[in-house]
Each structure stands twice: as C-alpha cells, then as structure tokens.
Amino acid sequence: MTIILLVFAAFFILPIIWLLLAPTKTNTQLLLDGPFSFGSFDQLVANWNELFAFGSGVFSTWIGNSALYSFAALAITLVVSIPAGYALALIEFKGRRLLLVTTLIVMLIPNTALVLPIFLELSAARLIGNPLAVILPFSFFPFGVYLTYIYFSTAVSRDLLNAARIDGAGELRVFAQVAMPLATPVIALVGFFSFVANWNNYFLPFLVVGGDKIPVQVGLANLLSNVPAFNPTTASSIVIQLPTLALATLLSVAPILLIFLFAQRFLVEGMTAGGTKE
Amino acid sequence: MTVVAAAAAGLLVLSGCAPTASGGGEGRYGFTEAEQVPDSEITVWVDASREPAVTAFQEAYPDIPVKLETYDGNAGGSGSFQSKITLMDQAGEGWPDVVFSTQQNDAIWASKQTLNGEQGFAAPLNKGFLDQDFLDGFAPGSLDYATIDGTVYGLRNDLAQTVFFYNQTLLDQFGYEVPTTWEEYGALGDKLAAEHPGYILGSMGDSFMTYVYYGGSESPVFQSPETAVFHSDTSDANAEGISKIIDGMLANGTLVQDSFFSAEFAAKYADKLVGVPGPVWYTGAIFQGGLATPAGQIGVAPPLSWEGGDVAAGNVGGGQWYASSHSKNLDAVKTFLEFVTSADEFQVEASSGYPAYTPAAEKWLDKQAEAAYFVNDDFKTVMSDAAAQVWDGWNVTSWSPETAWAKVVIPGIAAGETVESLLPAWQEELENEATVNGYTVK
C-alpha cells in the first residue's frame, strides 16, 4: 500500500520539482544536465532579470492586470452569490425552483460556448478593451450560488434563524448577523474557487482585451511566441529562453499557491461542511 | 492553443464562412472605405519583436497617434489573428488598423467577405491605395503569398530564402568542395560518412525541413494553382529524388534527427556541422545563436539545384503586414505601412530578418558585411540573388504544410522507415487536410 502511495506521490511531485528547478538553469543546462540538478542562484537572478526586462517590464503589468480582474470580480461575486444562495436555500418565494434549475443549467454550460454571445454583448455595450469586459463576465459565477445554496440548506439550521426572527430581527439582520458568521467557510470556498477560475481563465480575456491590458495567462502565450523552440520560423530579435518561460509560469501560479496556503483551514472546513448533519 | 483554434473553427461555422472572394472594385482603392476621420488614432497589432517598428515610427512621425497592442503575432498556428478579427466582424466594429502576422497565409481568409456582409478585413493594397512604384520595390515574388487573384492584400516584412551554409574551416581541413547541386550534396554525405564519421550536413528534426528540402528542390508537393484548389504529387521525380538523397544521408548519419533548436544539437554538433541548406535566418538563429560559431568560419553559397536545372530557393517563414479595410485613417495607415516595410530605422537598424523591400535589403546586407561574420565576400550577392529565386511552385493555403510532415514523416523516420516509402502516406495526409479545409484536390 505504502509503495503504491509513494509511486503516485512521485508521479505527481516529480514534474513540480523539475519546474521549480528549471529557472535556476541556463537553456543548455536545462536540456543537458540531470533533470533534477540545481543550476545556480546567479542564473535564477539572470532569468528573473530577463523576464522583467521583456517588453520593458510588461510582465509586472500582466500580473497587476490579473490581480485587478480577479479581485474585482471576486468582490462582485461574493456580494452577489452569497445572498443569492442564502435566499434560494432559506426563503420561499415564487420562481425559486425555476431560478435554482437555471443556475444548475448555466453551471453546466462550458464557458467557451458563451464566448461569442458575451463578446457581442460587450461590443454592443462598447466595453471591448475595457477592464470591465473581463471583470463583469468573471463576476458571473453560478457555481458560487449553488455552493452557497447547498451550504445554507444543509449546514445552517432553520430553527436557529427562526429563533432570531422570533427575537425580533428583520430579514436583513438575520442574514447579516446570524447567517453570515455561520457561513465563513463557504464564503472562503466560493471566493477561492472564483479567484482560481478567474486567475487561470485564458480565453475570455484573450478575446476581449488586448495590448497592455492582458492578464498574465494571455501574456504567457505572448512570451511563448518568442521562444524559438516553439516558433522557429519567425525572425525574432527578442528571444525568450525556456528557463525564463518556466520562471514566468511559476510566477503566474504563485498567487494562487499563496492564497491556498493561507486559506486552506477555511477551505477544508467549507468542503466538509454539509457532509454531516446532527 | 488548441482551445483557441477550436473556437476559431467554431466561429467560422457560426459565421458560415464560405469561400467567396469579395473582389471589390468599390471606392477609390478597390474597397468600401469607412468614413475617414483625419488625424484619428490608428491601432497596430504586432508581436514583441516588431515593437521596435512601432517605436521607430512614433519617433519619425510624432504627429500621427498610434496605439500599440502587442499580441502573440499569430505564432505557430495560434490562430489568434483570425479568431479576434472574426469576432470583430460579428460585432461590426473594433478592428485594428494595421496587423503584423508571423504567418504567411492570412490573406486567404482576410481577403474574403464574411457571410454577414462585412468586407474582408485586409484592404487591397495595389488598387490605388499604395503606389505601384513602392510595391515594385519588394523582391520579385515576395508579395505572392498575400496576393489573391492579382490583388495584393499584405506587405512582406522579411524574406526567408534558402541558401547553402558551409563551414570553411571544416571543408579546408577535409579537403572538400562546397556542393552546388543536390546530387553533390548527397555524394558529399557518402564521402563524409566514410571518411569522417560523426560530422553532419543537416538535420531532419524540425517540421519546417519540408520547405527547405522539398520547396528548395522544386518538388510539386504543396501547390494551390488557383483559389481553393490543392495539388500534391509526391511521386514526381524531384520529390522522389530528394527523398532518396535524404534517406541515404539519414542512413549514413550525415543527416540527424535532433531539432536545430534543441540543446542536444548544440552540444553534439556545434563543431561538426560541415554544411547545411537553410533559410538566411539560420545566421542569427543557429550559427550565432545555438551553435555560437565564431566569425570567420561560415560561408554562404547559392541554394542547391538539380544537375542541369535552374537554381531555385525554398522559403521558410517571413511575416506580413496587413491594413484594415475598415480603417478610419487610411492616410496614416499608408504612411505606417510604407515606413515599417521600407524605412532604414526599422528594417535596417532594428530588424533581425532579411528585409523583403529590396533597397532596405541592400543596406541590411551592408550592415552584415560590416560585422564581417561570413568568410566569403560575395555573400551579399548570393543572398540577394536567392531572394529573387524563391520557387513559385510552393504555395500557401489556409493550413500549414508542416502538420502533415510532422504527423506522417517525422515519426516514420524515427521508427526507421525511409522517407521514400512514406511519400504516398504523406501525400494522402496532405490531400485529406486539403479536403477538410474545403479545397478541391486536383
């Protein structure tokens, strides 16, 4: 059993170790030295400098764009989807079932299928090229509504909320002072999923923003087109080497890694919540 | 990348893209102009390597407002140029004014009217928009890839004609002559393998070798004699001849299978490459780049030909500039296009490729001569002659010839089969791709 686990661990961890070591090497070292050898810190600095020199430091702009899009969308998502999920779970109103089914259906539609209508809509609203063209579609997160719905309908007792009502609290107060504090794990979970999905989204920002407004994932594709191994027949005066590309890839996922490390306690709580019932 | 390509294909289906040429004929310049807004800003899409072109333009023409947007340059089949334009065609607005593409085949789609009635994105350039005198300044044949039914839709940025590079130091050491024909190239392989095993005359590890060896040997493998018609004949004498030479050299080890851009190649063969047919950009990308061969060793000879045949060069790459037919400031677009393709500030001073515009190319060659990298003084004549000798029997289509080569031939060679035995399968794959792309195979 242990052996099987070790084999699987090695299978998943080895590529990551390789990726972590890659930026410490030169292009030649990367391909000729042992796959798990360490290059040097000097080379890491050299690759770092090369990456941030590309396009006069455009890499920082990309990271900044990604952060702006992801955090702005995250804020809107939370403000919208948490109350929505709460209402769907705990308040009886007309059309509730229809809304719930619609949420589920929209969740199942792949994002790419919606790209053309979204593009036309944004174009009609004259938002193409504007940060809002990314932020608004990113904020549409039916999975978050569904997750909150599940949480509130299973993990939060109606009796508790009713008790608050009997004590004279209005609906808003019940939501804000009783339901919300109980929902911290699911808020963290929705926030995390939304942030990861938006940070990693390539296709939508690729189409709706250009130039210096692109996020880092689209920027990586621009970097890639300057790597001769991937694009040999283009006469390029600007050449990005593979270790620099590896460094860019690592930096592009670093924020998610950091957020996961800090948020993991909430995330684990959120995921197991609702699994058990008293 | 696949997602982008798939989505682009999906958009094509949605827009019902049918291959109808827009023909044009309207307006002063052969297309319907948008209402012109004098002095309005023009948006330019370039890849990172072409940013200096825009910067140089802004310095030379500070009064013309230019918005620079860097994108992936439509590199290696990303299809980003077409995906984005197709969406803008649907929206009916938002197009850039000038686009640089690293691919050669965009005119095929960009010249066509879209089904919802938008005219093709690329503006016809030789119907009065640009002066014929200026267009005549481009190397003969260099505008062919972007010419459809006699209308020029794109300006070539750089040429990628093939020549024969040789290492003079090694040739002297072994007492060999520079080959001038494909037959001599094959024979030199036999001799080299027998007398100095381990030394090589090239590699088949990259899929663009199809242009070098088959385009350069006038093999009618990839032809589109008229719009939406595809022709391939791998049983042609030239195609079979060059395949036999390649097979012989693969067998004796003088052609290897490592990619030129792999570090393995640099490590194993940096001082073992006796000669190689290849595009002019090998100078920077391979000899001065990966192999780091010092100045004073490499020479440049004319492209190889068949014994008794004419000299013909292959072509491997070369970007294109397109003007938007929807531009609101065509005067600025015209100034921009003329500047980036012909002015010294970019083409001579800041461009790594061989300029397609002949007067710029001459100055570019002078600049290379100052660097004194090559052993032979006549390399300028060799390169400029080859620029005019690119074989016109290798065409561009809406898909790349490299995929069939990469799918059928490269794995076949790696599995120990001969290229000659793979020719029918290669042709079949090419014809299948043609059919899938809406071409009639003739």
Contacts with B295 (C-beta within 8 Å, 6 or more apart), sequence order: B371, B372, B373, B374
Q: Do A14 and A78 belong together in one domain? A: no
Name the region of A145 (left: φ>0; alpha: ψ -120 to 50; beta: rest).
Answer: alpha
Rounded Cα distance, B339 and B249, in Å: 45
Contact A226 B47 (CB under 8 A): yes
**How does residue B14 score in pLDDT terms, banded at 50, 70 and 90?**
very low
* Per-residue pLDDT, A264: 79
Question: In this complex, is the C-beta atom of B73 within 8 Å of any C-beta atom belonging to chain A?
Answer: yes
Chain B: nearest CA to A129, how far in angstroms? 9
Rounded Cα distance, B154 and B114, in Å: 18
Work out the average pLDDT over B14-36: 64
Range of the domain at A18: 1-39
Q: Is the pLDDT of residue B41 over 50?
A: yes
Question: In this complex, is the C-beta atom of A129 within 8 Å of any C-beta atom belonging to chain B?
Answer: yes
Residue B64 belongs to some domain of the structure: yes
* Per-residue pLDDT, A274: 53
**How does residue B434 score in pLDDT terms, banded at 50, 70 and 90?**
very high
Contact A221 B1 (CB under 8 A): yes
Read off φ and ψ for residue A199, nearest 5 degrees.
-60, -40
Chain A: nearest CA to B23, how far in angstroms? 28
Q: Using an 8 Å CB-CB cutoff, list chain B residues near A120.
A: 90-91
- Letter string b/e over residues A105-135, b meaning 16 or more CB atoms within 10 A of that residue's CB: eeeeeeeeeebbebbeebbeeebbbebbbbb
Residue A207 belongs to some domain of the structure: yes
Pinpoint the alpha helices (H) of B278-343.
Answer: 282, 330-342
Contact A226 B48 (CB under 8 A): yes
Q: Output B262 or B159, whichever has higher pLDDT.
A: B159
Q: Do A171 and A256 belong together in one domain? A: yes
Q: Do B171 and B154 belong together in one domain? A: no
pLDDT, chain A, mean: 88
Question: In this complex, is the C-beta atom of B52 within 8 Å of any C-beta atom belonging to chain A?
Answer: yes
Rounded Cα distance, A139 and A241, in Å: 36
Residue B55 belongs to some domain of the structure: yes
Q: Do A179 and A258 belong together in one domain? A: yes
Percent of chain A exceeding pLDDT 90 equals 53
Q: Do A32 and A70 belong together in one domain? A: no
* Per-residue pLDDT, B64: 96
Residue B343 belongs to some domain of the structure: yes
Question: In this complex, is the C-beta atom of B80 within 8 Å of any C-beta atom belonging to chain A?
Answer: yes
pLDDT tens-digit readout, A48-98: 999 998 888 899 999 999 999 999 999 999 999 999 999 999 888 899 999
* Per-residue pLDDT, B9: 45
* Per-residue pLDDT, A271: 65
pLDDT tens-digit readout, A180-234: 888 888 998 899 999 999 999 998 999 899 888 999 999 998 898 888 777 777 7
Q: Do A25 and A109 belong together in one domain? A: no
Q: Do A99 and A29 belong together in one domain? A: no
Q: Is the pLDDT of residue B11 over 80?
A: no
What CATH number does residue A250 fall under?
1.10.3720.10
Residue A226: both structure tokens together: 């300057």
* Per-residue pLDDT, B18: 39
* Per-residue pLDDT, A273: 59
Residue A163 belongs to some domain of the structure: yes
Q: Using an 8 Å CB-CB cutoff, list chain A residues near B68.
A: 211
Q: Do A113 and A220 belong together in one domain? A: yes
Q: Do B106 and B37 belong together in one domain? A: yes
Q: Do B132 and B89 belong together in one domain? A: yes
Q: Is the pLDDT of residue B20 over 70?
A: no
Work out the average pLDDT over B283-307: 90
Chain A: nearest CA to B42, how far in angstroms? 13
Establish how many alpha carbons lie within 13 A of residue B80's alpha carbon, considering only the half-sphere containing its beta carbon: 29
Read off φ and ψ for residue A89, nearest 5 degrees.
-80, -40
Residue A152 belongs to some domain of the structure: yes
Q: Is the pLDDT of residue B3 over 50?
A: no
Residue B245 belongs to some domain of the structure: yes
Residue A277 belongs to some domain of the structure: no
Q: Do A5 and A62 belong together in one domain? A: no
Q: Which of A210, A228, A234 sits opposite B71 (nearest CB)?
A: A210
- State which H helix or E strand residue B323 sits in: strand B320-323
**How does residue A272 score in pLDDT terms, banded at 50, 70 and 90?**
low
Residue B136 belongs to some domain of the structure: yes
In chain B, how many domains are there?
A: 2
Q: Do A34 and A101 belong together in one domain? A: no
Q: B3 to chain A: nearest residue by CA?
A: A203
Q: Do A4 and A119 belong together in one domain? A: no
Rounded Cα distance, A129 and A208, in Å: 6
**How does residue B87 score in pLDDT terms, banded at 50, 70 and 90?**
confident
Q: Do B324 and B407 belong together in one domain? A: no
Q: B259 to chain A: nearest residue by CA?
A: A229
Q: Do B260 and B389 belong together in one domain? A: yes
CA dihedral (B390, B394, B400, B404) positive or negative: negative
pLDDT tens-digit readout, B187-197: 999 999 999 99
Contact A27 B45 (CB under 8 A): no
Q: Pick from A57-71, B73-87, B274-288, B342-356 the range whose average pLDDT is largest.
A: A57-71
Q: Which of B48, B69, B354 sits opposite A238 (nearest CB)?
A: B48
Residue A14 belongs to some domain of the structure: yes
Contact B319 A235 (CB under 8 A): yes
Residue A46 belongs to some domain of the structure: no
Residue B1 belongs to some domain of the structure: no
pTM: 0.85
Question: In this complex, is the C-beta atom of B206 within 8 Å of any C-beta atom belonging to chain A?
Answer: yes
Question: In this complex, is the C-beta atom of A110 within 8 Å of any C-beta atom belonging to chain B?
Answer: no
Q: Do B283 and B420 belong together in one domain? A: yes
Q: Do B137 and B166 belong together in one domain? A: no
Q: Do A28 and A84 belong together in one domain? A: no
Q: Do B260 and B329 belong together in one domain? A: no
pLDDT, chain B, mean: 89
Q: A201 to chain B: nearest residue by CA?
A: B3
* Per-residue pLDDT, A170: 86
Q: Do B199 and B288 belong together in one domain? A: yes
Q: Do B33 and B172 belong together in one domain? A: no
Residue B222 belongs to some domain of the structure: yes
Residue B343: both structure tokens together: 């002015």
Residue A49 belongs to some domain of the structure: no
Work out the average pLDDT over B323-331: 95
Rounded Cα distance, B380 and B4, in Å: 41
Q: Do A173 and A232 belong together in one domain? A: yes
* Per-residue pLDDT, A171: 85
Q: Do B57 and B149 belong together in one domain? A: yes
In chain A, how many domains are there?
A: 2
Q: Is the pLDDT of residue B332 over 80?
A: yes
Question: In this complex, is the C-beta atom of A32 within 8 Å of any C-beta atom belonging to chain B?
Answer: yes
Contact B90 A120 (CB under 8 A): yes
Q: Do B206 and B287 belong together in one domain? A: yes
* Nearest CA among B158, B145, B177, B151 for reference residue B31: B151
* Per-residue pLDDT, B162: 95
Q: What is the 3-state secondary structure (H, E, C) of chain A?
A: CHHHHHHHHHHHHHHHHHHHHHHHCCHHHHHHCCCCCCCCHHHHHHHHHHHHHHHHCHHHHHHHHHHHHHHHHHHHHHHHHHHHHHHHHHCCCCCHHHHHHHHHHHHHCCHHHHHHHHHHHHHHCCCCCCCHHHHHHHHCCHHHHHHHHHHHHHHCCHHHHHHHHHCCCCHHHHHHHHHHHHCHHHHHHHHHHHHHHHHHCCHHHHHHCCHHHCCHHHHHHHHHCCCCCCCCCCCCCCCCCHHHHHHHHHHHHHHHHHHHHHHHHHHHHHHHCCCCCC
* Per-residue pLDDT, B278: 95
What CATH number does residue B37 fall under?
3.40.190.10
pLDDT tens-digit readout, B217-230: 999 999 998 888 99
pLDDT tens-digit readout, B136-157: 999 998 999 999 989 999 999 9
Range of the domain at B410: 162-314+385-441
Rounded Cα distance, B423 and B235, in Å: 7
Question: In this complex, is the C-beta atom of B102 within 8 Å of any C-beta atom belonging to chain A?
Answer: yes
Percent of chain B exceeding pLDDT 70 equals 94
Chain A interface disruption, residue of B72, B211, B368, most A CBs within 10 A: B72
Residue A77 belongs to some domain of the structure: yes
Q: A229 to chain B: nearest residue by CA?
A: B261
